Amino acid sequence: MKAIKQQLFSLKQSIKLTAVFVLLLWVIWGLEWLLDGQLFRYGIVPREVGALWGIVWAPFIHGSAAHLAANSTGLLILGSALLFGYPRSRSKVLLLIWLVSGVGVWLAGRTSYHFGASGLTYGLFFFLFIVSLLRRDPRSIALMMVAFFMFGGMIYGIFPRDPGVSFESHLFGAVGGVLAAIWFWRDDPLPRRKRYDWEGEKEGEGEAAEEDKVGDLWQAASAPEQPRYDVTESDDRSKPSQ
């Protein structure tokens, strides 16, 4: 029960932290809407040195409520899964996804303003998918199944479809997630496997049988060796006299 309570507490904390970040994104969008700002100018403009700061600020900027709402669901669920399932590597994973997504768009993106948190969501999805294949423990597989069931269509989002959508952010976010999975999948210890009573009994029986076997071998080895005699038939018949 204590272990279950700890897991539930960790899950709640992960959801709270992710919800705070998502709320911050909504506050930024609300201020932009109220003040009629043009924050898109702080996004990424590929190959413009003056727009390098967009790598940092682009995930905080969204063009519409629909755009932000689409990213909010993914961030909340996938982000909570990352924070809960990988507490030791989560900071490094987020940082790598953030940088690879932004730098990749700056280097290879179309000449336009690129902004939004979709690069993060794609990176989180591909991280959860690839890391589960590398670790293959029950928790990683369960988190991957939740992610794939709800956001499996992201696999197609890394290809160009809508000219108004930055597929480059999706693509390089996915690349960041894959790299993070390859580099950091060993950082978090595997959860302990639950052992059932019947497994212990079975192992105990096996050990007892092994002990009996060893005891028999010891007795056989310690028994004195019986002397061996060569028995030959004696011929009492006297030889005929010459």
Whether the pLDDT of residue 196 is over 90: the answer is: no
pLDDT score, position 6: 87
pLDDT score, position 182: 97
Pairwise CA distance, residues 147 & 77, whole Å: 8
Mean pLDDT of 112-123: 96
In the chain the domains, ranked by start, together with CATH numbers, are 2-184 (1.20.1540.10)
Percent of the chain past pLDDT 70, that is, above it, reads: 79
pLDDT score, position 234: 41
Its sign, for the CA torsion 131, 137, 140, 146, is: positive
Look-up of token digits 């007795």? 219
pLDDT class for 201, splitting at 50, 70, 90? low
pLDDT score, position 229: 46
Which token pair is 141?
């597989």
Pairwise CA distance, residues 25 & 20, whole Å: 9
Whether the pLDDT of residue 217 is over 80: the answer is: no
Pairwise CA distance, residues 182 & 186, whole Å: 9
51-55, 183-187, 196-200, 214-218: lowest mean pLDDT where? Answer: 214-218
Alpha helix (H) residue ranges in 45-196: 54-57, 65-85, 90-108, 118-135, 138-151, 167-184
Pairwise CA distance, residues 77 & 125, whole Å: 10
Pairwise CA distance, residues 120 & 78, whole Å: 10
73: three-class secondary structure by DSSP: helix
Alpha helix (H) residue ranges in 196-241: 197-222
Whether the pLDDT of residue 162 is over 70: the answer is: yes
78-87, 102-111, 154-163, 214-223: lowest mean pLDDT where? Answer: 214-223
- List, for residues 8-64, the tens digit of each pLDDT value: 999 999 999 999 999 999 999 999 999 888 899 999 999 999 999 999 999 999 999
pTM, entire model: 0.79
pLDDT class for 4, splitting at 50, 70, 90? confident
